[in-house]
A and B are shown apart, each in its own frame.
Chain A
Amino acid sequence: QLQLRESGPGLVKPSETLSLTCTISGGSFTSSSYYWGWIRQPPGKGLEWIGSIYYTGNTYYNPSLKSRLTISVDKSMNQFSLKLSSVTAADTAVYYCARPSPPGSYYYYMDVWGRGTTVTVTS
């Protein structure tokens, strides 16, 4: 059964870079046409899609975060990663990795999610 697990520091200082990794298990990272994505949820608020990546490295970013965002893949480790630079308190959230439908699909949804990891931006 496909599982996703987020990992990374729970505390980040303002103006620094937030770095998270999602490890995929129970399935092959490269054998399907799926993309892999990041979504976040500020405390007590709704969901915000951050960006998605294909195993080839092709990426789609939320325009509101694009200038600070890098999503990359490590095929050998079955992992993909998120880097968000120049963070502020507004970036405090639970960060989820998930499997969204790729561009060009007929249906669009996210069917597999990690459990999420809390990141707090604080000095």
Chain B
Amino acid sequence: EIVLTQSPGTLSLSPGERATLSCRASQTVPSSYVAWYQQKPGQAPRLLIYGASIRATGIPDRISGSGSGTDFTLTISRLEPEDFAVYYCQQYESSPPYTFGQGTKLEIK
């Protein structure tokens, strides 16, 4: 089973700053199998990025994804108040399909 490790566990930043969230896989993962989600308290996860770098419908261009192999990154270039949430990376493999990282909490400093 491929394990996804996200870092940092918590990131404290101010609106307007740049956020860089990391997701490291225990084995090489095809970039097309990597997605990122945002989850706010009491809400379902929301798809942000798929294919490691493709923004989902309606996602602003200040949010971007990159990476390959075992290292993937979610970047938010200029934090808006609505960006403070928990972020999860996800990968797909044959068994079990769809595993998630443990999450990074992005909080207001």
Contacts and interface: CB of A to CB of B under 8 A. Distances in A.
Interface stretch (B20-28, B41-49, B67-75): B41-49
Nearest to A114: B44
A96 B46 CA distance: 12
B46 A52 contact: no
A52 B100 contact: no
Interface in B50-101: 50-51, 54, 56, 88, 90-92, 95-101
A108 B92 contact: yes
A46 B103 contact: yes
A62 B97 CA distance: 7
A113 interface: yes
B97 A110 contact: no
Interface residues of B, number: 26
A49 B99 contact: yes
A46 B101 contact: yes
Nearest to B4: A46
Interface in B30-45: 32-33, 35, 37, 43-45
B90 A109 contact: yes
B47 A109 contact: yes
B102 interface: yes
Interface in A48-65: 48-49, 52, 60, 62-64
A117 to B, nearest CB: 11
Contacts of A98: 44
B47 A103 contact: no
A27 B47 CA distance: 19
Contacts of A113: 44-46
